[in-house]
A and B are shown apart, each in its own frame.
Chain A
């Protein structure tokens, strides 16, 4: 990735706007890119196979058209947008696609994806819904099946060493993301939420080593900063699923808030948990993705036997981030038709109350057109926070 102008963040913006720019170059160089959605696809296995994982994203500015001729509008709008862009050939540089059992929208539309897109490789990874010893064993077996299918596709075997190396480099990637989050801790933060999410979004379109290089350069540049790009204001945590367009964050920041933390799928949910090293790499991956990625889709048994104990264990990470990043308020931003997150709203509300963090709950339809309506509510919330 070549920088242009004086700032690496300008480069980030360019790659963010022309998403897939680098991927197309790599494709022209003969590399294979494997698309994926959701935080449940073990990217380490893709990297270990020699393919480049590429996160397929949606676009809130692009009306959903072709996609709607093949897929019901009761699929969550974020996922519909990803599908729409894919069937419109926006990601035609991909050689394959991996879809996990992340939610009903993903499972039930798998055939629509796999029959409508011309990629030579397609794979579905089944993710268990519970978290216990038997589900870890099952998941390890399922990941071995995934590994074998990729081996068939690339025509070479993936060794333990390949996996260990990929695990190392993806962990390094997560460390670098953590470093970027550190810049959010000052008040006002040294990096804006818009800049951070843009950077991570671009990172997920690059080979992991290039993403690591990018994050280093962004870090180096931010370190030099003497002033924050945002004014001091209420410190906001964004709670929700995948937020791969920065408009909402930008809006909060335009209105005087600072986005300093999140739980989103292309943020802390995905980047904070690391894979254990040593031991069997597939088992370690099974544990990371099932036990450590805290997604509402995974049912976690109520061991406390009380509601308060249950929410403390299910949403405890949010409380930790709220403290660590000195959060003043949280915006729970969810998409319509999203069952896994949607059913948790009353419990999450109760949790925020228990940790004394004010909450604004918004339901949206993944469209730039609704930002105007959200503006008033966000403004009122920020004013309330003072």
Chain B
């Protein structure tokens, strides 16, 4: 069975903002509070997934969500996932599968076998849930398979699986032609969730409270959008390294005043930094976009390494799971469940119209292009985490397509007749390869060598441009 050896502790990543620095303790407090709630037994605890637009429903029913991806990420960040991964492997699960899920299943099996937390469980461990809310949706298979697999070890814990599809982008189809029946279906699925929670908690949904919470998260969505757009400033006041912390209120705390207040503070902090001309790095030389991929949680200080080379990350596609509501073309409704379903569809189809207008474009590519321009990006970095197909399949193609339809960097070269000519060079890109939490897939030396080579490319482009 699994070795109980911890890997070398990672060095702490330095944050650029106070707000990001406050996240660690916040998460720790959250994990501890779920353990306390478990012990007290007053509130129901639910395993669940981020990006399901159901936080408002859970909170309105006083159900405490346990974000299982979060706990797996913590194990990864603490370099203490291996023993849970090995346990999952010993059950017959392939190491090529989503490692968050493997870590979670390994942990659950161990906890259930012992009847208590595994030894030295990170931050006290993950509490046993009263029920599990999985989600079969178009973005991820493990979301409907993970809890089903965990249920083998806790068969008394029921599952409700919500289906949340959205229309995939198809060039010859207007998503508005089909989204009515998508909406109808999602509404039914969410109402099914309400009924399940009512049954599990013995309480009735308070729809006024739900409406308030939906309104609160809508306001938070807009506020996050405004806050993140401040990062367009040169120099950039906050980078992706910090955004991997500030993803916590976006993804784990939505529909709470705390999340809203967090972004009020962050916005203020960024505005102050901009006023002082203070960037994430002291002498900003390159502005990079984190163009895709979940981070390697055990190696977040690679962001500091980028910073040490003068590279800042004003924008990332990862974990920016919000879009401005006022720019969404979705119908108005007073019914909070109907609104959640529209917001879901509005979010996923946000770039569709724009993508249709540019020949050869596609929503993910379109988003890259727009942000390259808005955030004045010099290069794109992506991370291919081998175990998660959801966020990582398609990245190579996106870069390929980007290079095909968009060549934004003008450089001057000597033409045949000795005259200077303006040509457009592809945006340089770097693909890092490892995993979200499986540290055996990571090599710091290789990663840093790749980063060095990429920085050299950026530098030579700068030199050419200056010439």
Q: Which residue of A lies closest to B97 (CB)?
A: A342
Kindly supply a per-residue 1/0 record for chain A positions 333-357, scoring 1 wherever the CB is within 8 Å of any chain B CB and 0 otherwise. 0101101101111110110000000
Comparing A138-146, A167-175, A196-204, A270-278, the segment that makes contact with chain B is: A138-146
Chain B count of residues within 8 A CB distance of the other chain: 63
Judging by beta carbons under 8 Å apart, are B168 and A129 in contact?
Answer: no
Residue of A107, A129, A334, A363 touching B163 (CB-CB under 8 A)? A129
- Complex CA distance for A284 and B167, rounded to whole angstroms: 23
Residues of A close to B97: CB separation below 8 A: 337, 339, 342-343
Residue of B140, B364, B400 touching A104 (CB-CB under 8 A)? B140
Residues of B close to A349: CB separation below 8 A: 92
- Complex CA distance for A238 and B184, rounded to whole angstroms: 40
**In this assembly, does B256 line the interface, its C-beta being within 8 Å of a C-beta of chain A?**
no
**In this assembly, does B353 line the interface, its C-beta being within 8 Å of a C-beta of chain A?**
no
**In this assembly, does B460 line the interface, its C-beta being within 8 Å of a C-beta of chain A?**
no
Give A271-324 interface residues, CB cut-off 8 Å to B. 296-299, 301-302, 305-307, 310
**In this assembly, does A72 line the interface, its C-beta being within 8 Å of a C-beta of chain B?**
yes
Residues of A close to B32: CB separation below 8 A: none
Q: Which residue of B lies closest to A144 (CB)?
A: B181
Judging by beta carbons under 8 Å apart, are B389 and A74 in contact?
Answer: yes
Residues of A close to B137: CB separation below 8 A: 129
**In this assembly, does B453 line the interface, its C-beta being within 8 Å of a C-beta of chain A?**
no
**In this assembly, does A112 line the interface, its C-beta being within 8 Å of a C-beta of chain B?**
yes
Residue of B91, B141, B173, B188 touching A149 (CB-CB under 8 A)? B173
- Complex CA distance for A297 and B182, rounded to whole angstroms: 19
Chain A count of residues within 8 A CB distance of the other chain: 61
- Supposing A134-B188, A345-B93 touch, asked if A301 and B161 sit within 8 A by C-beta, the answer is yes
Residues of B close to A132: CB separation below 8 A: 192
Q: Which residue of B lies closest to A124 (CB)?
A: B168
Give B391-442 interface residues, CB cut-off 8 Å to A. 392-398, 400-401
Kindly supply a per-residue 1/0 record for chain B positions 126-160, scoring 1 wherever the CB is within 8 Å of any chain A CB and 0 otherwise. 00000000101111111011101101100100110
**In this assembly, does A228 line the interface, its C-beta being within 8 Å of a C-beta of chain B?**
no
**In this assembly, does A361 line the interface, its C-beta being within 8 Å of a C-beta of chain B?**
yes
- Supposing A74-B384, A134-B189, A346-B93 touch, asked if A107 and B145 sit within 8 A by C-beta, the answer is no
Judging by beta carbons under 8 Å apart, are B151 and A130 in contact?
Answer: no
**In this assembly, does B386 line the interface, its C-beta being within 8 Å of a C-beta of chain A?**
yes
**In this assembly, does A178 line the interface, its C-beta being within 8 Å of a C-beta of chain B?**
no
**In this assembly, does B333 line the interface, its C-beta being within 8 Å of a C-beta of chain A?**
no
Residues of B close to A301: CB separation below 8 A: 159, 161
Judging by beta carbons under 8 Å apart, are A108 and B394 in contact?
Answer: yes
Residue of B94, B362, B384 touching A72 (CB-CB under 8 A)? B384
**In this assembly, does A159 line the interface, its C-beta being within 8 Å of a C-beta of chain B?**
no
- Supposing A107-B138, A111-B394, A342-B94 touch, asked if A347 and B149 sit within 8 A by C-beta, the answer is yes
Residues of B close to A334: CB separation below 8 A: 94
**In this assembly, does B34 line the interface, its C-beta being within 8 Å of a C-beta of chain A?**
no
Q: Which residue of B lies closest to A130 (CB)?
A: B163
Q: Which residue of A lies closest to B361 (CB)?
A: A115
- Complex CA distance for A114 and B152, rounded to whole angstroms: 39
Residues of B close to A305: CB separation below 8 A: 155, 158
Give A327-386 interface residues, CB cut-off 8 Å to B. 334, 336-337, 339-340, 342-347, 349-350, 361, 363
- Complex CA distance for A365 and B460, rounded to whole angstroms: 41
Judging by beta carbons under 8 Å apart, are A109 and B393 in contact?
Answer: yes
Judging by beta carbons under 8 Å apart, are B185 and A104 in contact?
Answer: no
Residue of A74, A101, A128 touching B392 (CB-CB under 8 A)? A74
Judging by beta carbons under 8 Å apart, are B170 and A104 in contact?
Answer: no
**In this assembly, does A123 line the interface, its C-beta being within 8 Å of a C-beta of chain B?**
yes
**In this assembly, does A75 line the interface, its C-beta being within 8 Å of a C-beta of chain B?**
yes
Minimal beta-carbon separation of B393 from chain A (angstroms): 4
Give A92-116 interface residues, CB cut-off 8 Å to B. 101, 103-105, 107-112, 114-116
Give B177-203 interface residues, CB cut-off 8 Å to A. 177-178, 181-182, 184-185, 188-189, 192
Which 8 residue pairs spanning A and B have beta carbons closest together? Answer: A129-B136, A108-B393, A343-B145, A138-B185, A141-B181, A104-B389, A134-B188, A112-B397
A-B pairs with beta carbons under 8 Å apart, 6 shown: A70-B400, A104-B141, A108-B393, A122-B172, A305-B158, A342-B94
> Chain A: residues with CB nearer than 8 A to chain B?
69-72, 74-75, 101, 103-105, 107-112, 114-116, 122-124, 126, 128-130, 132, 134-135, 137-138, 141-142, 145, 149, 152, 296-299, 301-302, 305-307, 310, 334, 336-337, 339-340, 342-347, 349-350, 361, 363
Known: A71-B397, A75-B389, A129-B163. 17 other contacts (CB 8 A): A69-B400, A70-B400, A74-B384, A74-B392, A108-B389, A115-B362, A122-B170, A130-B163, A130-B189, A134-B185, A134-B189, A149-B173, A302-B151, A305-B155, A306-B155, A344-B148, A346-B152
